[in-house]
C-alpha cells in the first residue's frame, strides 16, 4: 500500500468509528469486551474509540503526521510483532497504526483482556482493505522486530523470549499533574477524568498531583468526591487500601471511593492519589527530571513554566493540558520513543 492508500484506509476506519455502538457488530463487540474483562465499561470503551477517531484518524492530522516521515512507507516490509497490553480498551491500537502506516506487516499478539476489541478493529481493517498487512500472530511467521508493552515483570520476560530481535519495550510508567492553585473548579473536575478514567489503570492516568505548599486541598477533594466511580474492582481496591492505611495509622483523606495521601512518590494502589507540595516550580522541574524514566506524561496548564523548563526537563516535553491525558495525539509517543522512526529500517 502506498501512502495515499494508507491514509484512506485509516480515514475510512475513522468513519466506521463515528458510528461505533450504533450498529449490531459494534454493540456486540462492546458487550463481549465487557464480558471478557470486568474492568471495561461501555462508557470507557466508547471514550477510547472516540479519542482514537478524533486524535488519530482525522485525515488532516494523519497527513501532517506522515509528512514528518518522507521515507515511509518502506518499499520492502518487515514483520513487526506487536505484543499488546490490555489494561485499557484498544491500548495497542497506536502501535498497530504505526506499523501499518510505516509500510510494514503488523503481527498482532493481543492481550486476552482486550482481544475482543482488537479483533473487531482488525476485522474492520480487512473489510475496508483486504490486502492490509495485519494478522494475528500464531507463530507461523518469524518476526523481524518486536514492540511489546506490559508490566516491568513482563518486560523482563520479553527480553528473554525475544532477545535476539530488535525490541522496543515498554514497562510500567505513571503520570503527574501540576497545579498552581489558580485553577477554577471546572478545571479540577476535568482533572478527575485524567485520574479516574479506565479505573486508573493506564500509564497516562494521573496518580500524583503537585500543589503549592500553602494549597488548600478542600476544593480538589470536593471535585474528586463528586466524580462517579462504580467499577467493583476499583472499589474493592479502595476498601482494602483504606483498611491498611487506617490500621497503619497513616493520615489520609477518604473520598468515598479513593484516598488522598500527602506523599511525594507514585502510589502502588490504583485507588490512592498522592499529593506532593512544592515551594517552587523549579523544584518540581528538578524532581520530574530525576524521575523521567518513571513518567509517561505531565498534565499542566502553566505554559510559561513548561516553556521555561522543557529544554532541561524531558517530562515537560510530554506535557498536555489538564483534562486530556487520555486523548493522546499521533505525536504523543509512549515513553517518548518515536515508533515511526524505530520501525523504519532506513533510519
Q: pLDDT above 90 covers what percent of the chain?
A: 98
Q: Where in the chain is the domain with CATH 3.40.309.10?
A: 174-320
CATH number for 3-172: choose from 3.40.605.10, 3.40.50.2300, 3.30.70.20, 3.10.105.10: 3.40.605.10
Report residue 345's pLDDT band, with 50, 70 and 90 as the boundaries. Answer: confident
CATH 3.40.605.10 range(s) for the chain read 3-172
Smallest CA-to-CA distance from 206 within 183, 226, 188 is with: 188
- Helix 42-56 to helix 24-36 angle (10° resolution) is 120
Statement: residue 218 has pLDDT above 70? yes
Helix axes 115-128, 93-101, angle to 10 degrees: 30
Q: Over the stretch 120-137, which tens digit does the pLDDT of each residue have?
A: 999 999 999 999 999 999
Which has the closest alpha carbon to 346: 76, 132, 166? Answer: 76
* Per-residue model confidence as pLDDT tens digits over 253-296: 999 999 999 999 999 999 999 999 999 999 999 999 999 999 99
Interval 237-262 mean pLDDT: 98
pTM: 0.96
pLDDT at 163: 87
Looking at residue 18, its pLDDT comes to: 98
Where residue 198 falls (left for φ over 0; alpha for ψ -120 to 50; beta otherwise) is: left
pLDDT, average across residues 200-219: 98
Q: What is the mean pLDDT of the chain?
A: 97
| pLDDT at 347 (0 to 100) | 60
Q: Which residues of 330-347 are buried (b: 16+ CB within 10 A; e: fewer)?
A: bebbbbeeebbbbbbbee
Task: Return d(Cα 34, Cα 36) in angstroms, integer.
Answer: 5
Please give the CATH superfamily to which domain 174-320 belongs.
Answer: Aldehyde Dehydrogenase; Chain A, domain 2 (3.40.309.10)
Amino acid at each position: 500500500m502506498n501512502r495515499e492508500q494508507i491514509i484512506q484506509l485509516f480515514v475510512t476506519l475513522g468513519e466506521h468509528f463515528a458510528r461505533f455502538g450504533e450498529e449490531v457488530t459494534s454493540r456486540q463487540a462492546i458487550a463481549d469486551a465487557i464480558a471478557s474483562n470486568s474492568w471495561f465499561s461501555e462508557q470507557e470503551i466508547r471514550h477510547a474509540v472516540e479519542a482514537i477517531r478524533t486524535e488519530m484518524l482525522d485525515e488532516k492530522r494523519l497527513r501532517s503526521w506522515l509528512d514528518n516521515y518522507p521515507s515511509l512507507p518502506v518499499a520492502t516490509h518487515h514483520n513487526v510483532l506487536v505484543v499488546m497490553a490490555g489494561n485499557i480498551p484498544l491500548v495497542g491500537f497506536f502501535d498497530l497504526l504505526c506499523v501499518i502506516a510505516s509500510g510494514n506487516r503488523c503481527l498482532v499478539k493481543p492481550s486476552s483482556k482486550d482481544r475482543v476489541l482488537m479483533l473487531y478493529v482488525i476485522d474492520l481493517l480487512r473489510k475496508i482493505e483486504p490486502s492490509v498487512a495485519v494478522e494475528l500472530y500464531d507463530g507461523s511467521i518469524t518476526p523481524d522486530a518486536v514492540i511489546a508493552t506490559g508490566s516491568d515483570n513482563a518486560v523482563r520476560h520479553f527480553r528473554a523470549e525475544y532477545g535476539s530481535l530488535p525490541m522496543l519495550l515498554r514497562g510500567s510508567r505513571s503520570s503527574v499533574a501540576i497545579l498552581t492553585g489558580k485553577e477554577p473548579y471546572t478545571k479540577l473536575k476535568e482533572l478527575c477524568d485524567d485520574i479516574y478514567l479506565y479505573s486508573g489503570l493506564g500509564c497516562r492516568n494521573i496518580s500524583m498531583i503537585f500543589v503549592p505548599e500553602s494549597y488548600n486541598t478542600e476544593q480538589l477533594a470536593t471535585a474528586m468526591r463528586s466524580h462517579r466511580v462504580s467499577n467493583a474492582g476499583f472499589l474493592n481496591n479502595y476498601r482494602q487500601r483504606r483498611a491498611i492505611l487506617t490500621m497503619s495509622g497513616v493520615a489520609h483523606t477518604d473520598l468515598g471511593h479513593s484516598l488522598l495521601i500527602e506523599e511525594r512518590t507514585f502510589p502502588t494502589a490504583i485507588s490512592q492519589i498522592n499529593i506532593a507540595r512544592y515551594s517552587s516550580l523549579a523544584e518540581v522541574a528538578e524532581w520530574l527530571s530525576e524521575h523521567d524514566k518513571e513518567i509517561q506524561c505531565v498534565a499542566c496548564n502553566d505554559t510559561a513554566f513548561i516553556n521555561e523548563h522543557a529544554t532541561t526537563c524531558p517530562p515537560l516535553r510530554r506535557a498536555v493540558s489538564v483534562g486530556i491525558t487520555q486523548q493522546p495525539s499521533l505525536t504523543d509517543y509512549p515513553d517518548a520513543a518515536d515508533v515511526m522512526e524505530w520501525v523504519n529500517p532506513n533510519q
